[in-house]
Amino acid sequence: MTVVQETLSISRFFRTFLVRRMLSLGILRYRETRILLAFLGTTLLIVLATIGYLFYRGSDKVTHIDTLVLDLANLTLPQWVFIGFIIVRLLFLKSSNMLSLTESLPVTDHQRSVALFINELAFIAGILIVVFFSSIAPLPFVFGIEVSSQVATSIVFPAATLVVGLAFIYNILTWGFSVVRLGRIKDILAICVLLILAGLSQIGMTTKVASITSAFQSGNRAFLWSDTYTLISEKYGFFICSLTAVISCIFLLTAATLTSGALFTKQKEYILTRTPSKGDLSNPSTIRRTLFKSYLLSFLRAQETWITLIFALGGYILLILSQAIPPILVGEIISFLGIYAYSSTSALRNFPSLKVRPVEVYLFLCLSLLSISIPFVLVFFVGFWAIGGDNTTGLISVIGCIGTIPLTITLGIIFPSEKDNPLAVITGIAIAAISVIFFALGLSVFSLPPWGWAIATLFFLLSVASAGIFEIKKNSLPDY
């Protein structure tokens, strides 16, 4: 086998391992559940694409409405590329355990890192396809196949160039931080730099949207830096544009693979546990109080907690600068810590001398995560209020963040987010979003008063909590 074939073989091996591991954990081990989830996800994408098709067909009389759609999609493209790249990089940083699976194979660490990089590119491509599918897929059915060239110059070419370009920049940043002896935190620092770049790319978002719409109404186009390929295509033709995109991607991809070092660095895990002394075992309240403190401290010591908080803070600053949506909405990012909650505290449930019921374990997880998220969400709310934000919007966002925590914790129990199973985290986040969307769509059919919405939401949360407690009981150790 050649070096390229060996690398591709390792990449397929990693992908197969991750998929099989995800399908063997939680409820995904049941075939019926996988079929149901695949059906719901596909149905949601088809429904959204159908809505887009009907909208475009009804607007067909408007001149070049496809141009406006592609321009607006291109405007948000860098934001989604940054988000997808950072999320996937964070997920695959926790994949160090896969190194042991290939130690006996005649491959180098560089080949392993390149193989992992290939899987990262595939994951990012999947995220971008899901994000833009509903708005882009209906275009050829309404405006003809010739719109495909515009999709390529506005979406495909810029996305490919940005992804491999970010990979190269990330590798250079981690190398630079290693040179200045910051190797232990080089990945977190590089991600922080990318967050800053993401914020800079989104400055003046409202002004850019206004310039695009005003140019469209006047029959012109407003070119942005991310729409360079469209400008090249209009000036020199689609063939020259495609050739430029291919050469750029090959150059950046080569640079990214050559600078890709050994990504499989072992991460220290700090879990502070406090086991009650023999005298405390007779006092159940002392046991529960001590376990709650241990859960809370294990959250505070977890790397995922601080990465998520940094990511949320960066998103908060980004939304303040871009003014795209209310910045208070980033509080939802903190609630996704619940996906890691059950797995990251597994060591605290392995003491045979402690008798803790599943409902108490679930409450410990919820209270610990609430103790961390509420202070940050309140700070975001005060900042949102200080810049003149709507108090009602801020209050609803705070309640939404707190209410999402039981859902994410239950998903973390059903889809165990093991350190070398990033697919479970992506699946959990996707199902959380789908569940909230379907719940909102279901309630939108009925005209409910505020107390009716409250009852429906409470019923939804109780159902989610019951599912989590039942799964804990089913998978519990003998100490329960």
pLDDT tens digits along 127-171: 888 888 888 888 888 888 888 888 888 888 899 999 999 988 888
Last residue of a domain, one of 204, 225, 258: 258
Handedness of CA 420, 110, 166, 132 (dihedral sign): negative
User: Average pLDDT over the chain, rounded to whole?
Assistant: 74
Nearest alpha-carbon partner for 195 in 83, 324, 89, 302: 83
Residues 209 and 285 in one domain: no
Give the residue from 223, 258, 293 where a domain finishes.
258
Q: For residues 212 and 74, state if they share a domain.
A: yes
Angle at 36 between CA 31 and CA 42, to 5 degrees: 125
229 within a domain of the structure (yes/no): yes
**How far out from the chain centre does Cα 345 lie?**
22
Q: Which of 78, 89, 85 is nearest to 132 (CA)?
A: 78
- Amino acid 113: pLDDT: 75
Domain of residue 440: give its range. 278-474
Is residue 263, in this structure, part of any structural domain at all? no
pLDDT given for residue 275 in this prediction: 42
Under 8 Å between Cβ of 412 and 342: yes
Residue 446 above 80 pLDDT? no
Is 309 contained in some domain?
yes
Least confident of 104-113, 230-239, 252-261: 104-113
Region 307-321: what's the mean pLDDT?
A: 76
pLDDT, position 440: 61
In a domain, 272, yes or no: no
Confirm whether 479 is domain-assigned: no
Are residue 299 and residue 415 in the same domain, yes or no? yes
What is residue 381's predicted lDDT score, i.e. its pLDDT?
A: 80
Same domain, 387 and 459: yes
* Strand, helix or coil for residue 111: helix
* Domains: count for the chain: 2
Same domain, 289 and 248: no
3-state secondary structure of 62: coil
Residue 248 lies in a domain: yes
Buried b (16+ CB within 10 A) or exposed e, 41-60: eeebeeebbeebbeebeeee
Are 204 and 306 within one domain? no
Rounded to an integer, the average pLDDT of 225-236 is 82
pLDDT of residue 102: 64
Range with the largest mean pLDDT of 58-62, 86-90, 274-278, 366-370: 366-370
Q: Does residue 47 have a pLDDT over 80?
A: yes
**Cα distance between residue 405 and residue 378, in whole Å:** 15
Residue 229 contacts residue 244 (beta carbons within 8 Å): yes
Over residues 414-429, the pLDDT tens digits come to 765 544 455 555 555 6
Residues 199 and 316 in one domain: no
Closest Cα partner for 22 from 431, 467, 332? 431
Taking residues 185-202, report their average pLDDT.
80
Q: Could you tell me if 232 and 118 lie in one domain?
A: yes
Q: Which two tokens stand for residue 5?
A: 């074939």
Q: 71 and 185, same structural domain?
A: yes
pLDDT reading at 90 higher than 60: yes
Q: Is residue 223 part of a domain?
A: yes
- Distance in angstroms (rounded) separating the CA atoms of residues 478 and 472: 12
pLDDT, one tens digit per residue, over 289-300 is 777 777 777 777
Name the percent of the chain lying above pLDDT 90: 1
- Plot region of 388 (φ>0 → left; ψ -120 to 50 → alpha; else → beta): left
pLDDT at 267 over 50: no
Arithmetic mean of pLDDT, 341-366 = 70
278, pLDDT greater than 60: no
| Top-confidence residue, 166 or 396 | 166
- Residue 341 resides in a domain: yes
Helix, strand or coil for residue 112?
A: helix
Query: Are residues 181 and 328 both part of a single domain?
Result: no
Tokens 């107390």 belong to residue: 451
- Amino acid at the residue 148: S
Among 42-46, 78-82, 368-372, 449-453, whose mean pLDDT is lowest? 449-453
Co-location of 242 and 282 in the same domain: no
Question: Using 50, 70 and 90 to split pLDDT, how confident is the model at 438?
Answer: low
The residue among 258, 289, 313 that closes a domain is 258
**Predicted TM-score of the model (pTM):** 0.58
Same domain (yes/no): 74, 104: yes
The token pair that represents 331 in the structure block: 């509080």
Alpha-carbon torsion 241, 245, 251, 252, what sign? Answer: positive
Beta-carbon count within 10 A of 112 CB: 24
Residue type, 355: K
Rounded CA-CA distance 421/44 in Å is 25
Check pLDDT > 60 for residue 217. yes
